[in-house]
Amino acid sequence: MTAIVVEFFTEILQQHESPDELVRVVYLFINRLGPDYEPDLELGLGETLLIKAIAECYGRTPAKIKKDYQEIGDLGLVAQKSRSGQSTMFKPTALDIDTVFENLTKIAKSTGKDSQSKKIGIINKMLTSCDIKSSEAKFLIRSLEGKLRIGLAEKTVLVSLAQAFLNYENKSQKRISPESLSKAEDVIREAFSVIPNYEVIIRNSFKYGILNLLEHCQLTPGIPLKPMLAKPTKSIGEVLDRFQGEEFTCEYKYDGERAQVHLLDSGEVRIYSRNSEDMSQRYPDLVSIVKDFIKTSDKSSAEKPKSMLLDCEAVAWDRETKKILPFQVLSTRKRKDVDEKDIKVHICLFAFDVLCYNGESLITKSLQERRQCLFDNFSPIEGKFQFATFKNSSDLNELQIFLDQSVKDACEGLMVKMLHGAESFYEPSKRSRNWLKLKKDYLAGVGDSLDLVVVGAYIGKGKRTGSYGGFLLAAYNDDTGEYETTCKIGTGFSDEDLVSLHAKLKPTEISAPKPFYIYDTTNSNAVPDVWLEPTAVFEVLTADLSLSPIYKAAHQEYGKGISLRFPRFLRLRDDKGVEDATTSSQVSEFYERQANVAK
């Protein structure tokens, strides 16, 4: 697959004098229209709208399209079958990259009263132009669904771009060395972790050369980077083994929502979630205080605000008791059209890192240096902006006492981080062993909760009549883009949870499982009462993991899948996209690390 993609990308570069075409092709390959942080560029249209569009375009009834879909299980193949059965008097104008990209963008940005009919009109125009003898209709519909299913992972696209640019720059046609290939791949990965924008990456590679890319892709306020993440750990002893006498630092692990705070040179403030969603309108109360906690030499001066980028946790805060409130309270805040004067759930921002300050990237400075920059340039505001509580140590007893205190202070546990040297650098988008999370509830168990995608539901009975009684969950396979079933869950839900989840997920019901759902088709226990679009992520706690003849997580590795034993619902993760869920390989890691499995 990589060789095919490299050849295609190289051909595009060689045939065009600008990188415009390659930018559009790459976004179409990964089923996006722009970077994650740009609003209104999502596809993923619902089944009902697409069935209606296919029916209208090809002169069939929605009922017949739906019947075909239930039999074939792929709306793209249904569209292709419908197209092949339709004859036209005149040959329509052929589709090209620019036309498809432009029309998909119009569909994504279409809102308002007549938006559905506008979308159907654009889709029909493209479906009519699809080549009757090719697979264009199939892949057009799959693009609109949000899943091409061509076996192409995003990490393959990055590697392919690196190799394609080396090929393009190799005017002498000499064989490119493995060392150059490896270096180019490392460069593009590092650049993308700091600037997750394919257009910027491609244009700078085209202009300056792939090996010079890092000089022109610096951390930039206004462009959110993928955050550094921690590895779970099951015991304090495991933490001490990892750091082996090195001085480390422990910070409270707050029960809130990751928030990246950006101050741009223009003075504009933006706040981004862990999956790069712009949350500025959701948290106007945070936006309004940012300039208040930046230290200035003269408070009365009209000094231009400094640019900066902070990594923080936004936590619900009780202003009367001056205490942290649970995440469930934070989740009751409105997500759109928030007016600051109507806010009832107040937020305190706990800052634990500064990644950029006054135009200088700090990610390759030690955590000790970054923390000092935080203290030197920002001032706490009680109940609004505070520094994460921390303790530097290398002592087992101190660590246990600090962990107990964090739980008393309404936190989940501790984040344990390397403090000095290169191992303490900030590593965007990586789940690193230089950061470990130590959660009180998970010690001696799996070591962490799992974030799983909801792909199906079971109709409630008894007191749960009228809502869903349970759910089918899946891990995300980031190599194949598939969702592999992991467990059925029915415990941990309050009555209020079930009512709100039914209201949220009912509109996402679909008549057949998605072709990229991997489940046991031979066992009725593995099939839910209703299938759902992959839109929601549940945080789940489990006693342990075991091999299962029914469930499919990491099934290619063991011949059987891995399942959760006694799973319990903790909360809905609105701050996570489905591709940020626990991956199949992470489920495998959790399984392997269990005492009864590890060798």
Which residues, 6 or more positions from 496, have their beta carbon under 8 angstroms from its beta carbon? none
Q: Residue 165 corresponds to which tokens in the numbers above?
A: 């640019």
Handedness of CA 107, 113, 118, 123 (dihedral sign): positive
- CA dihedral sign of residues 554, 237, 244, 599: negative
**Listed residue (443, 378, 49) closest to 237, CA to CA:** 443
Q: Where are the alpha helices (DSSP H) in 196-348?
A: 198-208, 236-243, 284-287, 327-330
User: Would you say 347 and 290 are in contact if contact means Cβ atoms under 8 Å apart?
Assistant: no
Which residues of 444-578 form beta strands (DSSP E)? 450-459, 468-477, 482-489, 509-510, 517-518, 530-532, 537-541, 544-548, 561-565, 568-572
Q: Is 593 helix (H, G, I), strand (E, B) or coil?
A: helix
CB atoms within 10 A of CB 9: 24
**Coil, helix or strand at residue 594:** coil
Beta-sheet pairing, 482-489 with 517-518:
parallel
Ordered alpha helix ranges (H), 195-337 = 198-208, 236-243, 284-287, 327-330
One DSSP character per residue, 344-398 reads -SEEEEEEEEEEEETTEE-TTS-HHHHHHHHHHHB--BTTTEEEPPEEEE--HHH
Does residue 270 contact residue 280 with C-beta atoms inside 8 Å?
yes
Q: Provide the β-strand partners of residue 476.
A: 483, 583
Dist. CA 322–CA 341, nearest whole Å: 20
Q: Are 101 and 41 in contact, with CB atoms under 8 Å apart?
A: no
381 and 294 in contact (C-beta within 8 Å)?
no
Q: Which of 253, 384, 417, 514 is catalytic?
A: 253
Q: If we measure between CA atoms, which residue out of 427, 426, 455, 458 comes closest to residue 537?
A: 455
DSSP secondary structure, 152-171, as one string: --HHHHHHHHHHHHHHHH-T
Spell out the alpha helix ranges (H) of 74-177. Answer: 75-84, 97-109, 115-129, 136-145, 154-169
CA-angle at 356, arms to 226 and 214, nearest 5°: 65
Q: Tokens 């399942």 map to which residue? A: 563
Gap between the Cα atoms of 464 and 322, Å rounded: 37
Is 52 one of the catalytic residues? no
Q: How far is residue 450 CA from its own chain's centroid?
A: 14
Instruction: Tell me which residues are annotated as active site.
Output: 253
